[in-house]
Each structure stands twice: as C-alpha cells, then as structure tokens.
Amino acid sequence: MSISPMSINRSATRIVLRRAAAVTALTAAGVLAAAGAASAHVTVHPESYEKGATDGVLTFRVPNEEDSASTTKVQVYLPTDHPVLGVMVHPQDGWTPKVTTTKLKTPVKTDDGTITEAVSAITWTGGKIGAGQYEDFDVAFGQLPESGDQLVFKTLQTYSDGNVARWIEAPTGGDEPENPAPVLKLTAGTAGDDASAAPATEKKSTAAAATDASDSTARGLGIAGLVVGVLGLAAAGFAIVRSRATRS
C-alpha cells in the first residue's frame, strides 16, 4: 500500500504543531510559576526607612500560598539587638494579637529616658487567610534604631493543616534565599532632613506602589512566556512551509 505525499505532510504538520504547543505550554507555566513563587513570601512595607525615623507604620503583608489550607497564625519576631521602640499593634478584624516583650541586653537612651524593654514578638491568631488571599498587619513604632543597615523580621506562618512556613532567612548579598524573612532597609538621612516618618497615608501609598511593582513584574514575566510561545509557533509554521516547499 502506497502512502501519498499529502498524508506524510499532514502527519509531519501534526507532530510539529504538537511539539510547539507543548513547548509553549511548558514555557508559560514555568514563567508564571516563577512569578508566583517570587511573590508568595511575607514582606514588609515600605521596604526602607531612614535610621532613627519616628512615629511611623510598618505593614507586614502575609499571602496564603496553599491551595487546600488557610493561614491561621502569624508570628513576627522583632530584632532586639537593634530594637524597635514604642511598638503598637493596629486592631485587625478577626485577629487577636499577643505582644511579647523582652529585657534588652543593652538599654537604649532616648530623650524621654532610658528604655530597658522592647517588643520582641507579635503573634496574631483567631483569623483566617484563605487560598489566593492575603492580609496586611499594621504595626506602629515610636522610633527605629539609629544604627545598622537593615532590620530582619523573622516570621512563622502556620496553616490549618499544621504546616508551618518559616520565613527566617536573611539576605546574604547574592540571590534571594529560599525562605526569605521580611527585611526593612535602614538608610542614612541627608543633612537637614527630618528623621521623622512620613504620614501613614503616604506609607500606604508606598506599600501600594511596592505591590504594583511586584504585580507588574509578574505580568511582565507572564507576557514574556507568551511571547516565547508565539515565537515557538511561528518557528513551527516556518518549518512546515519549508518542509512542503522541499517536497514540492
């Protein structure tokens, strides 16, 4: 039984298209997965403050990265070697905060006197963050440390199935660690600048801008994956046309 050139061409076309479609799907899936993983950990907003800033707000954003479990407990640990002074927790609907204080090894002298204790941990329980959702936890402070380059807030995120995500790894100057802790950069103020923190509304805008930037990055990665897929299909089409031209 003879096989016509037309049948061969059809078979070759189907094989090329299937391979191109598979490459496109895998590329897009890989890019989107990488974008999701990059934004799934706990972060602090804004990303930086001036050293010694006063009367500001830190927002800890906690996304739920599990599909079949809810976040039911969040524990944020504050550094005590460079303590954050005057910490107050904003009321959060459905959540009950517990503030833990500790005695400082090195008391801090301020204009209002010497501080010997500071908040070392804040634990929120009673609420729930479902799949595909996040929660913002606001913490006000009286004063940030005047020394150091950054503050690392190690965080534990407990799920309803008992799993605990440990966001406790500090950056080391290279690639982002696998389980990064929220990090606040401390910047040096310029001469004549007021070290006071910006108004809370401005801080919310800063946090929103950071979130938008993260979303834009994820969208960019997604578009890049689709572009690669389109190029793959174009290459497949070119190969088909070339194959037919050769046979004719």
Residue 232 to residues 20, 23, 81, 204, 213, Cα–Cα distance (Å): 6, 7, 54, 42, 29
Q: At what angle do helices 200-247 and 5-38 cross, to 10 degrees?
A: 170
What is the structure's pLDDT at 21? 45
Task: Name the pTM for this structure.
Answer: 0.65
Confirm if 104 and 46 have CB atoms less than 8 A apart.
no
Alpha helices by DSSP H, the chain: 5-38, 200-247
What is the structure's pLDDT at 176? 84
What is the structure's pLDDT at 171? 86
One digit per residue, the tens of pLDDT, for the chain of length 248 reads 555 544 445 554 454 445 544 444 444 444 333 334 445 899 999 999 999 999 999 999 999 999 999 999 999 999 999 999 999 999 999 999 999 999 999 999 988 899 999 999 999 999 999 999 999 999 999 999 999 999 999 999 999 999 999 999 998 877 889 999 999 999 997 644 544 544 444 444 444 454 454 554 445 545 555 444 545 544 445 454 455 545 54
What is the structure's pLDDT at 20? 45
How many whole angstroms separate alpha carbon 102 and alpha carbon 16?
66
